[in-house]
Chain A
Amino acid sequence: MQEARTARALPLDDLKRIVGERNVLWRAEDVMLYEYDGLSAHATPAAVVFPSTTAEVSKVVALAVRTGLPVVARGAGTGLSGGAVLTEDGLVLGFSRMNKILEIDLENQRARVQPGVVNLDLSLAVSDAGYYYAPDPSSQKACTLGGNVAENAGGPHTLASGVTTNHVLGLEAVLADGSVVHTGSACWDHPGYDLTGLLTGSEGTLAIVTEITVRLCRKPEAVKTLLAIYDAVPDATRTVASITARGITPAALEMMDGFTLRAVEEATHAGYPMDSAAVLLIELEGLSEVVDEEAGHIECACLENHAREVRRARSAEERDLLWRGRKNAFGALGRVTPNYYVQDGVIPRTRLPEIMEFMEDVGRRYRLRLGNIFHAGDGNLHPLLLYDKRDPDQCRRVTQASAEIIARCVELGGSITGEHGVGIEKNELMPLLFSEDDLALMRRVKAIFNPEGRLNPGKLLPTGKMCGELRVQASAGG
């Protein structure tokens, strides 16, 4: 059946002519892998193409226009909202060959890269010179800068330094008709509407990004990492507010609950205390004496809020180990459950104690195990709901429980997603935040860029096909 459809609609020869024979996948067994991203599996692509230049991207898009096929850009496929999968028959544009760092300009604190460059590779490339690229999603060893721009990715260290959109100066992009445009520039101000800011976070539904100019940051003189250990979750969440009240903005402020840290400890042996109810992982950056001074204040804030103990990482190795535990946490939980579903709600950070209590209650009512590991400093929650997707009843409970959590986040003045994006996961939930007028304006803007829905169809905006439902179909853990 696959073969029959392919033979009918797919301009295979043309695609091969554009990107080269070896850079097109179309056999069922080859394209199957591209049904998935971090959220779930969807339509099987008719073909997966790997361009190596902007001109090739442009030609593939122009061909897609002629043949009426949708196009979805794909970085590493680590997205958690279903952004990189097709909702219908179409082409996947893989960026693994467009993975060059084109220019590094340290005096001007910027770099120009292709979208397939892996996030961490950019930081590594400038590390010896004393620089780094600030936004650091926990998936940074795998995810691409193109995917980061599309999702406006955050990470533990974006608390102090800002998310992707604060670090992108300019873009080159291919539009839905195959034409190429340049937005922004390599400087800080650019006359005209901020199309760079609009495209960042547009989840591949407005244009396909083919080149990115980003800011690089100077590495701090000193880094200090603290681990505050608690016997009760509310003590940990209250500490977050006390730290803010002291006028200190740590570089990172992450929280992990007891259940999660036990799974992490078993997987990574990072030195997390097995018997605690919660930990805060706090990092300070700056001048060395200042970091010491702040560490003292933070320690006070933790102890005032009944931390059992505050440890300081004594070496770079200890620090790396603590972070490895944090960054591999999803994987670690994957070892203890057949499936999990990651939520990404946001609340004003002072409401942390009450949302944690609420989530505990939700877990009880739906008889679900919840693990929490998240960016506490900016109120970006990541409850992981553990389940087995072979059991329809568990699936239903996970969906309902998640929907309740998201609704509560909105009631508290927060958002349905802080960094993972809307995709096909939450597009039907957009009316929780936005009125019909708000959405109409978004549609009007989309129509300018992507009038036929050629690029990444069925994402971000409500389709009206489902009524206000969350789409949960989490992949196997691990």
Chain B
Amino acid sequence: MEAALTASFATLTSVLSEEQVVRDPAACAGVAVDGLAPQCLVLPRSEQEVAAVLRFASEQKLGVIPCRNATKLGFGNTPRRYDIALSLKELNRVWRYEPDDLTVSVEPGMKLGDFQRFLARRGLWIPLDPPGGARASLGGTVAANAQGPLRLKYGAPRDMVLGMRIATTEGKIVKTGGRVVKNVAGYDLGKLLIGSYGTLGVIVEINFKLFPLPAHRTTWRLAAPNLTQTREFRRALLSSPLGPLRTVTMDSEAAALVSGHEHDQAQSYEIRVEFGGTETVIRRSGEMLQSMARALELSETTLDGASAEAAWDRVADFESALSSVFSRAVLVKASLPISAGEQFLELAGLEAAKEGTRTACLNHSGVGIVYVGLLTQEVRPSLGGVTNSLRKAARRLGGALVVLRSPAELKRDIDVWGPPGDDFDLMRRLKEAWDPQGVLSPGRFVGGL
């Protein structure tokens, strides 16, 4: 088996050059998934090379996982098979940049932070604050439809992608959508790829819609004694005419992880709200926010400039903050009706307490996305039960829950995605149509796709 594979990898070097096929065990271990390291790491430099690698993998029936910075690599079921790590690191060019049209085509390996710096020179940005923050690649962010609290104002990647080019497992390059902001020609196949976690095809170019950078930004921090107060504040904020860019609510553990120091225990919850726009927007928003805070007797302070930006980066990268302190932590993400966020936070605390564990909760309270970290330093099998109870609760509230992070040992007992719905048969057939040999991230997605 090993010998046969070695021989077939030799044919791979007929498509890519020697140095693009890395077989060094240390490098392969660096992109291991759930303890499983691939046989090789390949570094294509063009979309054609990506397509060639996929065709090769299909012919040989090998398992391929596309990656870049491995910020979201731990997410998903344990792969059924993993032979090739397909790194998109070398695909990091900007192709068509039309700042006046607010559009751009860019390759998937570009890091979000680099991309923002590039766009900022012309006063533009792509309003994304996904897990991984500045380190996240654009391809990974789109493939995961990953977005942070900025979703409140700007939507998710699915709302910003105008079109894309995709390498298929047949070894072809196909395009969907286009480069203009309005377009309904043909099926919107891009939507299938966005959020597919690299199980249908490999995104090799993305056309984004861009946005003007707000001229000024201010972040407010509010301290709330309990969830009733955070709920009242959320209702006041969302039914006001203010259009905040983003808002989050954190319990004291989450606030401590995100700020990197012990949290003031007196204030149980911290709320953050960011406004952006002209000076007038900032002033009016500030006034209204202060009067909301006064009415609810919440204390408030502001964060400006670089310190605010860094603070939001740490919110986006909650998972790193969590795992750097609690290496064996379990992290789940619930998507809920906006009104159910506070209730879920409370419930999570209770369920975790039953197993003697504390939680760190981060509620993207404007959009109903709640992250719950179960804080532990060792592998605790009982946490599988906690995630199951939380999933039941999320489903009862009309939502869904996925397990973003868990020690590999627990994954056998944890259902990462939850039970699929009555549209699963369509998903299964779509997967078969795009990837008949099952080479792309095999077994990692919903229902074991």
Interface residues of A (CB under 8 A from B): 105, 107-109, 130, 151-152, 154, 158, 162-163, 165-166, 175, 180-183, 185-195, 197-198, 200-202, 206, 218, 220-221, 241, 244-245, 247-249, 286-287, 289-290, 293, 346-350, 375, 378-380, 413-422, 426, 430, 433-435, 437-439, 441-442, 444-449, 460-461
Contacts and interface: CB of A to CB of B under 8 A. Distances in A.
Nearest to B191: A197
A162 B155 contact: yes
A346 B427 contact: no
A195 B123 CA distance: 35
A294 to B, nearest CB: 8
B356 interface: no
A254 B123 CA distance: 25
B280 A346 contact: no
A293 B282 CA distance: 13
A328 to B, nearest CB: 22
Given A108-B338, A441-B189, A413 B180 contact: yes
5 contacts: A109-B338, A130-B239, A189-B369, A287-B280, A461-B186
B5 interface: no
B398 A185 contact: yes
Contact of A430 (B103, B185, B339): B185
A187 B337 contact: yes
A438 B180 contact: no
A195 B188 CA distance: 10
B151 A188 contact: yes
B174 interface: yes
Interface stretch (B79-87, B252-260, B313-321, B415-423): B415-423
A247 B123 contact: yes
Interface of B: 98, 100-103, 123, 145, 151, 155-156, 158-159, 168, 172-176, 178-189, 191-192, 194-196, 200, 211-213, 215, 235, 238-239, 241-243, 277-278, 280-281, 284-285, 333, 335-339, 367-369, 398-400, 402, 417-418, 420-424, 426-427, 429-430, 433-434, 445-447
Contact of A194 (B176, B192, B418): B192
A186 B182 contact: no
Main SS at interface, chain B: loop
Given A107-B338, A293-B280, A448-B433, A415 B185 contact: yes
Contact of A108 (B159, B215, B284, B339): B339
Nearest to B213: A247
A223 to B, nearest CB: 11
Given A192-B427, A245-B100, A415-B185, A187 B178 contact: no
A202 B159 contact: no
Contact of B367 (A188, A201, A420, A446): A188
Given A151-B184, A417-B183, A438 B369 contact: no
Given A192-B424, A194-B195, A348 B101 contact: yes
A433 B178 contact: yes
A422 to B, nearest CB: 6
Given A107-B339, A247-B123, A445-B433, A152 B188 contact: yes
A290 B284 CA distance: 9
Nearest to B277: A290
Contact of A435 (B174, B181, B337, B398): B174
A379 B181 contact: yes
Contacts of A188: 151, 156, 335, 367-369
Given A154-B182, A189-B335, 6 more contacts: A130-B239, A163-B182, A197-B192, A198-B187, A434-B175, A442-B186
Contact of B192 (A193, A220, A347, A421): A193
B73 to A, nearest CB: 18
B183 A418 contact: yes
B278 A442 contact: no
B159 A162 contact: yes
Nearest to B242: A287
A322 B174 CA distance: 44
Nearest to A129: B239
B187 A442 contact: yes
A109 to B, nearest CB: 7
Contact of B180 (A247, A249, A348): A348
Given A185-B398, A194-B192, A448-B433, A422 B186 contact: yes
Contacts of B195: 193-194
Q: What are the 8 tightest A-B residue pairs by CB atom distance, in nearest-first order?
A: A197-B191, A221-B241, A247-B212, A189-B335, A418-B182, A415-B183, A348-B101, A187-B335
A194 B368 contact: no
Given A287-B241, A350-B100, A430-B186, A187 B400 contact: yes
A49 B339 CA distance: 40
A186 B422 contact: no
B182 A437 contact: no
Contacts of B398: 185-187
Contacts of A186: 337, 398
A248 B335 CA distance: 32
A314 B188 CA distance: 42
A364 B181 CA distance: 30
Contacts of A375: 182
B368 A201 contact: no
A192 B182 CA distance: 26
A130 B240 CA distance: 10
Contact of A244 (B102, B420, B445): B102
Contact of B182 (A241, A290, A419, A460): A419
A225 B207 CA distance: 32
A206 B189 CA distance: 13
Contacts of A286: 241, 243, 281
A193 B368 contact: no
Given A108-B339, A130-B239, A350-B98, A192 B423 contact: yes
A446 B102 contact: no
A192 B420 contact: yes
A109 B278 CA distance: 27
A239 to B, nearest CB: 13
Nearest to A289: B280
Contacts of B103: 348
B242 to A, nearest CB: 7
Contacts of B179: 348, 413
Contacts of B281: 286-287, 290
